[in-house]
Amino acid sequence: MDAFMTILFMVVVGSVIAGSTNHLAIKMLFHPYEAKYIGKWRVPFTPGLIPKRREDLAIQLGLTVSNYLLTPDMFRDKILSPEVRTMVGDFARTKVEETVFRDDRTLAEWLKVAGFEHLPRTIEGKVDEVIATQFKSVQNTLATKTVRELLPADFEATIDKKVPELITYLIEKGETYFKSYEGQVTIQNMLDDFLNSKGSLGNMVQMFLGGDTSTLAEKIQRELLMFLRSDGLYDILYNLVQTEYDKLKDRPVTDFTADIDFNRIEETVKTYAKKEMNLDERLNYSIHHYWPQGKAWATEDLLPKMLDRGFVTAENKIEDVVKKLNLQEVVRQQVDTFPVQKLEELILGISKREFKMITALGFLLGGIIGLIQGLFVVFVG
């Protein structure tokens, strides 16, 4: 009976000691969270292992994550995989078809969605500003230039070449007119009017001619035609026209624009520009109205090219992006600032069953060791 109690006692004591030790060891992984002091003397094994080595743990976790978990190759394999490309392409295509090229959404509604509902008025204001600026520039130019300075060189040369042609044209037209019956009648009427205006002298001449001035008119016509065919007339007219033409080119432009109401013209141009732009009416149509082939082009041509280029660029830049993210430091900072209580709950939530098994194993091993010790004491002692 005494031997049995001794063995039982040894088994219970060994089991309690071993199980309690394992349980305490597990607790000491986290507890206490902070160092404990008696006066200035720090109590040994405080704080717990994980709180004490949290910084080292954070560094090691950062290294593990950056070197073995979130690597550039992992991002290429997972994020830039063909499946992801297909998914992104389908999503983008659907969004373009359902949103951008909807028949029932007008350009004005798109502007409102984007926060640019006042864009039509802004554009009209900018157009007014441009027109006003251009008119001001034109007025300043006209106020300081002569006709010659405004004429382009090639245009002036062309006009200069036309002066002799103009003289020839005028002479030919004059000759043709005065040779015609209408010209003859004109000469006759002018002669009669001249003689009538000279009073008694004119009446005397008419009486001398027997009241018929047609013969005199015919003579005047012949002389006039001879005058028109003479070389001297061409030179006179050419010199006269050329002189006046040169004077005209040297005159200030303001001599010809003084009576022009530029303000009224400016307002007319502004009104015409707004009327032709007709922004309010034009914005009441959808994108599809102006661009029926847009949806097919965007979904079948533009999007695939953009996605291919985007994925190629992402694949080429993934290492630089991962380096700039500095995942090792991010993980270290997060772990280093993570509350120990939450870390304990996380680990225990994952390994609670295993820790219980370790504690139970301690009780079992302690009991076995106590049993062996009890048998040894009974039979050897």
The string of pLDDT tens digits covering residues 311-325 is: 788 778 777 877 787
pTM: 0.48
The total of other beta-carbon atoms located within 10 Å of residue 190's CB is 12
Q: Determine the distance from the C-alpha atom of residue 142 to the mean position of all C-alpha atoms in its chain, rounded to a whole number.
A: 38
Query: What is the arithmetic mean of pLDDT over 126-148?
Result: 87
Strand 37-38, strand 41-42: pairing: antiparallel
224 and 178 Cβ atoms separated by less than 8 Å = yes
Average pLDDT over the chain, rounded to whole? 77
Q: Is the peptide bond before 339 cis (omega within 30 degrees of 0)?
A: no
pLDDT tens readout for residues 202-228: 555 555 555 555 676 777 778 777 887
Query: What is the arithmetic mean of pLDDT over 107-128?
Result: 84
Q: How confident is the model at residue 102 (pLDDT cuts 50, 70, 90)?
A: low
What is the Cα–Cα distance from 377 to 373, expressed in whole angstroms? 6
241 and 166 Cβ atoms separated by less than 8 Å = yes
Note the pLDDT of residue 227.
Answer: 80
Q: Look at residue 340 and tell me whether its pLDDT is greater than 60.
A: yes
Instruction: Decide: helix, strand or coil at residue 146.
Output: strand
Pick the more confident residue, 300 or 192. Answer: 300
Note the pLDDT of residue 202.
Answer: 52
Task: Work out the percent of the chain whose per-residue pLDDT is above 90.
Answer: 3
**Judging by beta carbons within 10 Å of its beta carbon (0-12, 13-18, 19+), is residue 138 exposed, middle or buried?**
middle
Q: Look at residue 90 and tell me whether its pLDDT is greater than 70.
A: yes
Note the pLDDT of residue 205.
Answer: 55
